[in-house]
Amino acid sequence: MVKAIIAPSMLSSDFANLASESERMLHCGADWLHMDIMDGHFVPNLTIGAPVIESLRKHTNAYLDCHLMVTNPLDYVETLGAAGASGFTFHVETSRDNWQELVQMIKSKGMKPGVSLKPGTPVEEVYPLLEGENSVELVLVMTVEPGFGGQKFMPEMMHKVRELRKKYPSLDIEVDGGLGASTIELAASAGANCIVAGSSVFGASDPAHVISLMRHSVEIAQNGF
């Protein structure tokens, strides 16, 4: 059984008021703040980088769960670590040849290493990264194509979550994309415990309610594992 972690995606926040938006989400019960870092190359969108993480860090002690949708994640480890990132999740598609070096560097900078996979990437591709001493501590299963908030959840990704949960009972398994009141059940019952949600939380009239509802679903499901 693993802990439920709800991580609002700050991509759906008002970036011009990132500090107060973060504060608001923590007040609503968020465990982590999910920070989507995009380079305009790995994905067709460009967002934030280390300078923004550094600025936000001055306003909060929260866990900053950084999701690197970038072609060269290795180039970002040093600066993000220094900026105060807590988690560093890179994409397996970008790091097939150097993930060991990458994981080692992420750990040496005091961050929690995670690996993410796009919808078209088979789950088997992350298995080697979960073995041995130099392993990742979180797997982020994308439930939409990375790049933008507000897309439709892909239920056909749940077999990846189920397989990971069966193999790794105490692993942090994160899902990202299209999560909200109508999809949380599918993700929670498959075994996901870290839930990223952007539009469903920021678009709600009562974000605290959506966060607690998602937490409840994960807790109920985890009791059965």
Contact 153/143 with Cβ under 8 angstroms? yes
User: Is residue 148 marked as binding?
Assistant: yes
Q: Is 138 in the site for ligand DX5 (CB under 6 A)?
A: no
Question: Cα angle vertex 171, ends 197, 212, to 5°?
Answer: 35
Closer residue to ligand DX5 (CB): 104 or 203: 203
Region near Zn ion per CB under 5 A, out of 44-52, 61-69, 102-110, 182-190: 61-69
Which of 31, 39, 65, 176 is catalytic? The answer is 176
191 binds, among ligand DX5, Zn ion, none (CB under 5 to 8 A by kind): none
Q: Is 30 in the site for ligand DX5 (CB under 6 A)?
A: no
Does the annotation mark 36 as catalytic?
A: yes
Residues 66-125 that bind ligand DX5 (CB under 6 A): 67
* Residue 38 Cβ vs ligand DX5, minimum distance, rounded to whole Å: 7
Closest by Cα among 73, 40, 30 to 147: 40
The token duo for 53 is 């993480």
Candidates 10, 53, 67, 186; binder of Zn ion (CB under 5 A) is 67
Does the annotation mark 176 as catalytic?
A: yes
Closer residue to Zn ion (CB): 104 or 151: 151
Residue 178, by phi and psi: left (phi above 0), alpha (psi -120 to 50) or beta? Answer: left
Residues 161-220 that bind ligand DX5 (CB under 6 A): 176-179, 196-200
29 binds, among Zn ion, ligand DX5, none (CB under 5 to 8 A by kind): none
* Residue 209 Cβ vs Zn ion, minimum distance, rounded to whole Å: 22
* Residue 69 Cβ vs ligand DX5, minimum distance, rounded to whole Å: 6
The token duo for 203 is 């678009």
Q: Is 29 in the site for ligand DX5 (CB under 6 A)?
A: no
Contacting residues toward Zn ion, per CB under 5 A: 36, 67, 176
Instruction: List residues with catalytic annotation.
Output: 36, 176
Annotated binding residues for substrate, as ranges? 9, 67, 147-150, 178, 198-199
Contacting residues toward ligand DX5, per CB under 6 A: 9, 11-12, 34, 36, 67, 144, 146-151, 176-179, 196-200
